[in-house]
Amino acid sequence: MANIINGKEIAQQVRNEVTNQVQQLADQGIIPGLAVIIVGDDPASQIYVRNKEKAAAKAGINGQTISFPADVVEEDVLNKIQELNQDDTIDAILLQSPVPKQIDEQKMQSAIDPSKDVDGFNPLNIGKLFANRAGYYPIANTPKGIMRLLAETQVELSGKFIVILGRSILVGRPLFALLEAQNATVALLHRYTPDELRHNLLQQADVVIAATGVPGLVQGVDLKAGAVVIDVGITRLPDGHLTGDVDFTTAQEVASAITPVPGGVGPMTIATLLQTTVELAVQHHQMEL
């Protein structure tokens, strides 16, 4: 039976670290500032943004939410981003996804100052990640949180074979770069990967990271004995329950360690967002902790 990786507990540890760091900054007169821009009234996004604001407040971070109506013109959002780029009290800016179609999301991501790009979606930061540059730059928070989960679980990555399912810029792609930089051999699978190839590669994988939103895509029989399984997927079932991409019941019989859904990767994402906000504040004010 697999060891269940307790994302909630590790996320709490990260939050405690963040709270301590915020306290240290406050002692030096600095309150980290996080600006969250939301466009339109998508109910799920409203909940995410509210949770981010609450978590920020709890950690002592100055969280601000800037809401635009669904029919806002692109220029207004762009002007706000530029204003926040100039605002010395703001260290971190994020644009909640999705945005209405008249707003070019990539253009907005590129407009966010790379040194305030808390989601790590500015092409300059993505480029640094893929070039494996030294020095500090923000990295997307879900993949960064997963790296922390793997580290806390003492999963050896060097020389291992890792299968990632899903290639979004939010999860799969940055993870590919992060894991490859740790000398793992990484296969990045997507919806056009033939089923047979997916099954073959999964059989050989030491670590499987599923981020597709396809419930039940990974079954216990797909896994190599002792594999580590990280389930990023979140799908709400008709009965209201949340489920991941991995069939937990069969997978836990074969895996050596596995994340549950909920309570695995999810809590890490928000904790890591707070961590990145503090890191950007430290960089911005040229502090040391």
Annotated binding-site residues for NADP(+) read 166-168, 234
User: What are the backbone angles phi and psi of residue 229, rounded to the nearest 5°?
Assistant: -120, 120
Helices (H), 60-91: 74-86
Active-site residue, 52 included? yes
Active-site residue, 160 included? no
Alpha-carbon dihedral angle through residues 276, 281, 287, 289, given to the nearest 10 degrees: -40
Question: Does the protein bind ligand NAD through residue 85 (CB under 6 A)?
Answer: no
In this complex, which beta carbon is closest to ligand NAD, that of residue 206 or of residue 231? 231
Question: Does the protein bind ligand NAD through residue 213 (CB under 6 A)?
Answer: yes
Question: Does the protein bind ligand NAD through residue 187 (CB under 6 A)?
Answer: no
In this complex, which beta carbon is closest to ligand NAD, that of residue 217 or of residue 255? 217
Q: How far is the CB of 231 from ligand NAD (least distance, A)?
A: 8
Active-site residue, 54 included? no
In this complex, which beta carbon is closest to ligand NAD, that of residue 212 or of residue 256? 212
**Which residue among the candidates 21, 80, 96, 252 is catalytic per the annotation?**
96
Question: Does the protein bind ligand NAD through residue 22 (CB under 6 A)?
Answer: no
Q: Please give the angle made by the CA atoms of 195, 197 and 203, to the nearest 5 degrees.
A: 105
Which string of x and - marks every residue 155-174 that binds ligand NAD (by CB under 6 A)?
----------xxxx-xxx--
Minimal CA–CA distance to 227: which of 236, 218, 235?
218
Q: Rounded to whole angstroms, how far apart are CA atoms 107 and 63? A: 23
Question: Does the protein bind ligand NAD through residue 212 (CB under 6 A)?
Answer: yes
Question: Does the protein bind ligand NAD through residue 258 (CB under 6 A)?
Answer: no
Q: Which residues of 71-107 are buried (b: 16+ CB within 10 A; e: fewer)?
A: ebeeeebeebbeebbeeeebbbbbbbbebeeebeeee
229: Cα within 13 Å, side-chain hemisphere? 37
Q: How far is the CB of 264 from ligand NAD (least distance, A)?
A: 7
The angle that helices 7-27 and 141-152 make with each other, rounded to 10 degrees, is 110
Applying CB under 6 A, among 11, 186, 217, 282 the residue interacting with ligand NAD is 217
